[in-house]
Structure 1
Amino acid sequence: MNSAVQLPRHPATQATVSSLPRRAGLGLKTEHFREVLSQQPDIGFFEVHAENYMVAGGPFHHYLGLIREQYPLSLHGVGLSIGAEAPLDPAHLARLAALIERYQPQAFSEHLAWSSHGPVFLNDLLPLAYDRPTLDRVCEHIDQVQNALRRPMLLENPATYLEFRQSSMDEAEFIREAIRRTGCGLLLDVNNVYVSSVNHRRDPLAYIDALPLHAVGEIHLAGFAEDSDSLGDRLLIDDHGAPVDSAVWALYLRLLERIGPTATLIERDNRVPAFSVLHAEARQADQLLHGARRPA
């Protein structure tokens, strides 16, 4: 465990885990830097992958600094390896803390996944067994992150393609317990819900209803690729390389009916289109957000 003083834990709510505006945002891509600065589009916020900015200087920081002056910012981590059996990398955590101190983002998030084994880093977000030893380890890592950053983090539900026989709880229960024990928030990726539910033949709405929805600080929407498994069954792949699917939009609307307007990111990491195409998807999300009522 980190030797820093433990931060007080409060029940996670939208207000305590994120200060992002209740609007739609976009992932900030390098090919759009100049267009964003010259046109200053009406966007709720931008999000960047933290690992792309873990250097002291350079053009990425130049442009992000200028854009940060105009827009709220969310930092999204992909390399902490929260679910790994090994301890967190202290050098990586220190670089992350320096980055957050530099840009003061309105939210920070990471995945419920692992991507490292010993000295080897795997460029993927791999699934966990949902059992008590894994839960204890994940909670310890979340505590370490939140103490180092001196702020709550958002934990993102994963997209998965297999499940472990040794799991003693389902994914929603695991996430619910992790949030209860650590006070972190939830980044609810609706595309991941749909992808995993199709792959494992789950009811996506029942899965969502089993999550601690009071703790949702940000929502992600993305596109997926479709294939078939060895038995010919439908297999969805979370590739962030397509527009948001109509089924995901429908699930998103049902989620808004449950939790009200919540900061929502349109993700596109592969086959990135023109900025105007992404902006149109963000406007579509904004229209749904504006029509959503806050639950009593």
Structure 2
Amino acid sequence: MLAGLGAATAALLALHRFVPNTPGRLGSLLETFLFWLGPLTALLLLCAAARRARTALLVLLLPAVVWAAVLGPRLLPAGPPGPRELTVVQHNVADDNADPAGTARALADSGADLIALQELVDPASAVYRRELAPRYPYHSVRGTVGLWSRHPLGTTRALDIRPRDIAEPWQRALRAEVRTPYGEVAAYVVHLPSVRLGPGGLGSARRDESAARLGRILAAERARRVVLAGDLNGTVDDRGLAPLTSRLGAPARGLALSYPAALPVARIDQVLARGGRVPAIRALAATGSDHLPVLARVALDDADG
């Protein structure tokens, strides 16, 4: 049995893209928790060792090697900061956050160049403006998403990524031009629709539709350097986010599990980039939100390159 589980785990790790997404978006569900096949393999190895099951131990080496090759590099340390790096904090602050002032101060203490927030609602939105203003004099809020910057902002506009079946007011994406010391960067702040896990599987249809709409916007984006920060309600391995991850690079190092804050099992808060790379991402200390904030390093390409 242990050998069979090991072979199945190796197959899921290596061939997860071939797991069909219907019914119940099983492929996306597997990819959401793909990282945890590593700890599962370690547990199976311990069981095999305890039973002295040599065949099972040999078979279980296969998923261990596959996991180390596919996901292991994320655990390696990142290199030193480069000459053209921005730091970006991404945080869904939660619309029921009981301590917006404390949350804002904690985010400002990170010293990030950019802070992207979601679930901004009144009256807490005014608190974030007030608390972040001393260190982040430039900001833009569109609907329930906002961007605070240490560097001047140029043109800012709302983006329409609303799923077709939502009729009520729904504004959860913006684009802003950030005039950094290294040149202009197009910054996107987004909040994709939530997903639900139920008897029918992973309910991600709205999120996937919204991601596809955003993907088309990114395909038409003419700026050479783009940074996207948002609560994407999915991991970078989830095929439902392929319209974004096929156009923007994901973090190379770091797990930064961000949700739920009490016991994080997945990173659904993401920082992605084009015209640069994201060498590392890490989770910050808990705030009054049900998400953990994440801080990413973004190494920008030379503007003339």
TM-score under structure 2 normalisation? 0.33
Bigger strand share:
2
Greater radius of gyration (CA):
2
